[in-house]
Chains A and B, each alone.
Chain A
Amino acid sequence: AQTVTQSQPEMSVQEAETVTLSCTYDTSENNYYLFWYKQPPSRQMILVIRQEAYKQQNATENRFSVNFQKAAKSFSLKISDSQLGDTAMYFCAFMKHVHNAGNMLTFGGGTRLMVKP
């Protein structure tokens, strides 16, 4: 079974600064996908960024980028130029690459990020 660990329950950052959220995972799989989801106060789950394990290049989406270290099983999220709207819970998630089966997402416990003006 896969496990996902987010060791930072809460973090804060000043507006316009950069913050990094940590995530580690445990798996024996070689082929898989990693995700960061954002859950603002509205409780909606929003996909922020996705990384394929077989790709060495780190994924980026505008102000969001990841540092994927496959050997270390680490998948951190960097938010640049933080904005007040980035205030939310952030969840790291893991998905096995499995053919002809359910692609279940396994979530970490989340990191609550507060962006301060």
Chain B
Amino acid sequence: DSGVTQTPKHLITATGQRVTLRCSPRSGDLSVYWYQQSLDQGLQFLIQYYNGEERAKGNILERFSAQQFPDLHSELNLSSLELGDSALYFCASSEWGQNYGYTFGSGTRLTVV
């Protein structure tokens, strides 16, 4: 157990639907990052939050949004889902400013049918 908890582990939904992925960071970590990994591809950075505020944004679609709550858990909302959104979505956390790499959760596998 890495200490970063992602739920659900698997999600199957239809095109056009909306889903919410949840992440609880490791205890003490204030930064949360979301990454998308399409089949057998590298990880693409989506967005980062620090202590409730958005800090960096990557290649995140307008149909996607995220937030970090006062208890530091984060949610990634994906709407108007398309087949191409099927992927593994990772959450990771770190202490602010530390450069030791992230701690990753086990991911949520989203399948859009």
* CB closest residue in chain A, given B104: A45
Q: A102-B50, A103-B99, A104-B33 are in contact. Are A44 and B2 (CB under 8 A)?
A: yes
Cα(A36)–Cα(B50), bound, Å: 24
Whether, in the assembled complex, A74 has its beta carbon less than 8 Å from a beta carbon of chain B, the answer is no
Cβ–Cβ contact A104 & B45, under 8 A: yes
- Count residues on chain A whose CB falls below 8 Å from chain B CBs: 29
CB distance from A24 to the nearest CB of B (A): 14
CB distance from B34 to the nearest CB of A (A): 11
Cβ–Cβ contact A44 & B106, under 8 A: yes
* CB closest residue in chain B, given A32: B99
CB distance from B93 to the nearest CB of A (A): 12
Q: A109-B41, A110-B42 are in contact. Are A104 and B48 (CB under 8 A)?
A: yes
Beyond A45-B92, A102-B31, 6 additional pairs, beta carbon < 8 A? A91-B42, A95-B101, A97-B99, A102-B56, A103-B98, A107-B43
